[in-house]
Structure 1
Amino acid sequence: MLVKILQKNQDKVTNTKILLIKIINEPEKYNLPEIQSALCSQRKLAAFSSEKCAITPCTLNTLKSAAEYCLPRGFIELDELRQNAKAALEKEIVKDSDPNHNTKAYFKERLKNAEIELDMSKRTIMGLTTIIGEMSLELARMANSGNMTNEKRQALYQDLNNKLQHKLSFTLGSK
C-alpha cells in the first residue's frame, strides 16, 4: 500500500511537470479557469486534479517531498515551471483580451507601456527645455547687439530659425 501511495505521488509530480511544459509551449490550449487557478500558488498546484492528465490532488508537503525525490532540482524545478506556465498563460490572456478585460496581466502590460511612454515624454521635455534655453540666449544676444544692421539681424534670424526647426524636428521625431 505504501508503494502505491509513493507511486501515485511520483505520478503526480511527473504528470504535473508534463502538463506545465505543455502549458508553456502551447498556452492557448490550456487557457482554462481551473488551470489558471491552479497556477496561482504552490498550494493550489498541489491540490489540482485532472483525470484527463492523470493528476491527483495532494498536500503541498507531499508534492514537495515527491518532487525532491523525482526531479533533479527538486521542488524548485517544479515551482519554476509553474511560474513560467503562469506567465505564458497571462501573456495569452493579454493577447486574447479586449481593452475592457480586467486581468492582472492586462494591467501589468498597460503599466509597462505607460512607463515607456512617460520616459519618452520626459526625454522630449528635457530636449525642448534645452532648446528653449538656447533660443532665449540667442534672442538676448540678438536684442543686445545694437551695432547690427537690419540685414545682419535678418540673416541671424534666418540662421537661428533654421537651427530651431532642425532641433525641434530631431527632438520631436518628425521630419
Structure 2
Amino acid sequence: MSRLRHRFEALVDRHYEGVWRYTRFLTRGATEAEDIVHEAFLLAFDRLEKGREFTGDAGAWLRGTVRNLVKTWWRERQKLARDVADHLSLLAEEADDALSRAASRELHAALDHCLGTLSPEDRDLVARRYERGLRITQIAEQLSRNAATVRVQLFRIRQALKQCVEGQLAGELAP
C-alpha cells in the first residue's frame, strides 16, 4: 500500500464519523451532507498528494473546510442573504468549539438532553425554526406574535441550549 494511501485511510478512519455528523448538523440533515463530506475529504487528499502535511489538528482543518463548503451550499441552494450565511458561519464556529471539546456522540446526547428540558412552547418554536425551516416572520404569523418577539425568544432558547450543552459536556469531561 502506498504511503499516501495509508495516510489518507488513517485520516478517514480517524475523522470521517465526526465530520459527517458535523456536516449533518450544519445542513440540518440534508441528503447533500454526504456529498459535502466527500468533497472535504477529496480536498484533504489533494493536500496530502501535494505533499502538504496537516500541522495541528487535521479534524479542525476538515471541519473548517466543511464549514466553508456548507456556507457555499446554503448560498447556492437556499439563496440566503449574505448576513444569514455569515450568521450560519458563526453558529458553525460555535458548534466547532463544542466539537473540539467533546466527541460528536456526546454533543448529540447533550443536545438531545437539553432539548428535552425545554418547555413544550420552546420546543415547538425550535421545531418550527430549525426542523421545518420556517422563517421568523412565518412563525410570528402562525402564532399571532410580533416577529421581534419571536426572534428574541429564539435567541434566548439558543442561549439556554448553549449553556445547557456546555454544562452537560463539562460534566461528562470532568474526571
Question: What TM-score bracket applies, with the shorter chain setting the length?
Answer: under 0.3
Normalising by structure 1, what TM-score? 0.23
Which structure is larger by alpha-carbon Rg, 1 or 2? 1
